[in-house]
């Protein structure tokens, strides 16, 4: 080996004491200050009041793959729109960026476990003007390292907080994706309900036009008054105006769907279509695992864990800190002799520090961290309670609206029969035009109410799916039998 190379190796080998000291400090650094994490306790009911499904303590399971739950509505166009929202929604993309940000922050925290090593090289040429002729030249190459042993677990708690924060951001991404798709499904189904209403008004307008023509003919024959004609025409124009007014809400829903897909409002146009979506069957005994998959619960719980770890980070600042440093290099007046043995230098350093007085600043930081943890724990409990409320609300809505729909269907049938009978009486001359107009208006209101109830049932089903975390898997047959027998 060349003498110069041997000298360079000896220079860099001078850093070995730092490595040995670092290893010893790592073995000694077994203390981690701060409280051990425990998930906040929450009070959970034994079963849903509305569904009677058994319940158990929630566990975040947001890593499970969620089914394409929107396919339950059996609408191919809705399926295609949902796929576009998944990939192009701007809220989703923003949440994905926050996940990448949390990943980078975690890598940054993990890097603190290792020493910092730097290298440098300098070349200087100088001359003192009033100290005779001549100049001086110097060359230097150096390698520096420094490390702060994690004696009290500050770095480990920082990593723990970073891991929990990454999991929280990942759960937040799922929550935002679920919200975006649920909003799409709600808007799309509302748009199709408007299409149903539009066809109802088209049929109604046709019926009113026929009645107006009948009334006008009777007026020309002298068996009806001009007032009858005016009343029939007034009812027709009112129905036509209501039919046109549906276009406002439909256009707004189209625009909202476009924005959800990351498109300009003018870029999306959905042609009127026959209602394809069906009300999906939701089993009475909902498996307890479904609410476990709610991403907002997972996010809240992980935020509690991160806040707990930051208490340890704050407490570590109350204890002494230790810094190890080392430097080695070569220094020479000529570049040719830089690698010779006599030019080797090295240095080792150990520094310990402890703040003796800070007017309570570090203790205040610790108290602040504890308060943040208490706040996150309260928010977690509220999130769980809100999840129960949302499921119960939508189960109740679906149950009550099902009963309402049956009663409204009977009202529609009765109204239609009333229109048929009164129109026949009018043609026979035993009923006046006002009676026909009255029953026609009642029939239209009942038909419209039935369509609106359908829309409310579809919307409640979407909200229930969202409350359950974005989909469910059918329980085993044995579990279904057990649920039915309770």
Answer whether residue 254 shows pLDDT above 70: yes
Task: From the options 3.20.20.70, 2.30.30.110, 2.20.200.10, 2.70.98.10, give the CATH code of 1-30+116-149+320-353.
Answer: 2.20.200.10
Range picked from 12-26, 332-346, 422-436 for highest mean pLDDT: 422-436
Answer whether residue 141 shows pLDDT above 50: yes
Least confident of 24-33, 66-75, 151-160, 266-275: 24-33
**pLDDT of the residue at 27:** 45
Answer whether residue 34 shows pLDDT above 90: no
Per-residue pLDDT tens for 422-464?
999 999 888 999 999 999 999 999 999 999 999 999 999 999 8
CA dist 101 → 113, 162, 276, 399 (Å) = 20, 11, 42, 44
The beta-strand segments (E) located in 15-114 are: none
Report the share of the chain in percent with pLDDT over 70: 80
Which candidate, 153, 177, 35, 173, places its Cα nearest to that of 103?
173
The answer to whether 457 and 277 are in contact (CB under 8 A) is: no
The dihedral over CA atoms of 25, 27, 29, 31, expressed in degrees to the nearest 10, equals -160
Please identify which residue in the block is written with the tokens 């109802």: 200
CA distance 156 to 369: 16
Answer whether residue 55 shows pLDDT above 50: no
**pLDDT of the residue at 335:** 63
The dihedral over CA atoms of 153, 155, 158, 159, expressed in degrees to the nearest 10, equals -110
Choose between 49 and 156: higher pLDDT: 156
Report helix, strand or coil for 125: strand
The domain locations on the chain are: 1-30+116-149+320-353, 36-113+151-319+379-485
Question: What's the predicted TM-score (pTM) here?
Answer: 0.81
**pLDDT of the residue at 471:** 57
* Positive or negative torsion for Cα 372, 373, 379, 382: negative
- Which secondary structure element, helix H or strand E, spans residue 164, and what is its range? helix 154-220
- Which secondary structure element, helix H or strand E, spans residue 137, and what is its range? strand 136-147
CATH topology of domain 36-113+151-319+379-485: Outer membrane efflux proteins (OEP) (1.20.1600)
* Average pLDDT taken over every residue of the chain: 83
For residue 333, what are its two tokens? 């007046």
**Bridge partners of residue 331, in order along the sequence:** 140
CA distance 272 to 336: 85
Instruction: Quickly state the pLDDT bin for 66 (edges 50, 70, 90).
Output: low
Which residues are within 8 A (CB) of 2 and not within 5 positions of it... i.e. 6 or more apart? 339
**pLDDT of the residue at 132:** 58
């Amino acid at each position: 080996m060349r003498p110069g190379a041997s000298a360079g190796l000896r220079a860099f080998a001078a850093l070995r004491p730092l490595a040995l000291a670092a290893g010893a400090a790592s073995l000694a650094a077994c203390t981690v200050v701060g409280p051990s994490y425990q998930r906040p306790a929450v009070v959970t009911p034994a079963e849903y009041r509305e569904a009677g499904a058994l319940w158990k303590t929630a566990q975040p399971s947001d890593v499970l793959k969620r089914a394409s739950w929107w396919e339950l509505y059996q609408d191919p166009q809705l399926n295609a729109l949902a796929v576009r929202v998944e990939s192009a929604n701007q809220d989703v993309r923003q949440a994905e960026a926050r996940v990448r940000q949390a990943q980078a922050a975690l890598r940054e925290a993990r890097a603190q476990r290792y020493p910092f090593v730097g290298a440098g090289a300098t070349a200087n040429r100088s001359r003192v003007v009033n100290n005779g002729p001549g100049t001086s030249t110097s060359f230097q190459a150096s390698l520096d390292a420094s490390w702060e042993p994690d004696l009290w677990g500050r770095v480990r708690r920082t990593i723990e907080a970073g891991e929990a924060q990454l999991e929280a951001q990942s759960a937040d991404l799922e929550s935002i994706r679920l919200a975006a798709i649920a909003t799409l499904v709600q808007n799309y189904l509302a748009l199709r309900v408007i299409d149903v209403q539009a066809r109802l008004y088209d049929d109604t307008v046709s019926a009113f036009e026929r009645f107006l023509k009948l009334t006008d003919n009777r007026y020309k024959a002298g068996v009806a008054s001009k007032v009858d004609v005016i009343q029939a025409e007034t009812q027709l124009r009112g129905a036509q105006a209501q039919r046109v007014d549906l276009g406002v809400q439909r256009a707004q829903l189209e625009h909202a769907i476009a924005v959800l897909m990351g498109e300009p409002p003018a870029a999306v146009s959905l042609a009127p279509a026959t209602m394809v979506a069906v009300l999906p069957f939701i089993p009475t005994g909902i498996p307890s695992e479904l609410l476990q998959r709610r991403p907002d619960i997972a996010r809240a719980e992980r935020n509690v864990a991160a806040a707990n770890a930051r208490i340890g980070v704050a407490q570590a600042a109350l204890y002494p800190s230790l810094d190890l440093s080392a430097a080695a290099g070569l220094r020479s007046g000529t570049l040719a002799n830089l690698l010779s043995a006599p030019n080797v230098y090295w240095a080792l350093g150990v520094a310990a520090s402890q703040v003796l007085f800070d007017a309570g600043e570090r203790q205040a930081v610790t108290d602040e961290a504890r308060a943040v943890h208490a706040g996150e724990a309260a928010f977690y409990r509220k999130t769980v309670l809100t999840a129960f409320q949302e499921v119960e609300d939508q189960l109740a809505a679906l149950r009550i609206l099902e009963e309402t729909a049956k009663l409204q269907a009977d009202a529609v049938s009765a109204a239609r029969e009333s229109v048929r009978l009164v129109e026949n009486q009018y043609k026979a001359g035993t009923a006046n035009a006002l009676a026909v107009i009255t029953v026609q208006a009642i029939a239209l209101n009942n038909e419209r109410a039935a369509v609106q109830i359908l829309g409310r049932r579809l919307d409640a089903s979407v909200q229930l799916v969202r409350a359950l975390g974005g989909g469910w898997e059918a329980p085993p047959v044995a579990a279904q039998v057990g649920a039915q027998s309770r």
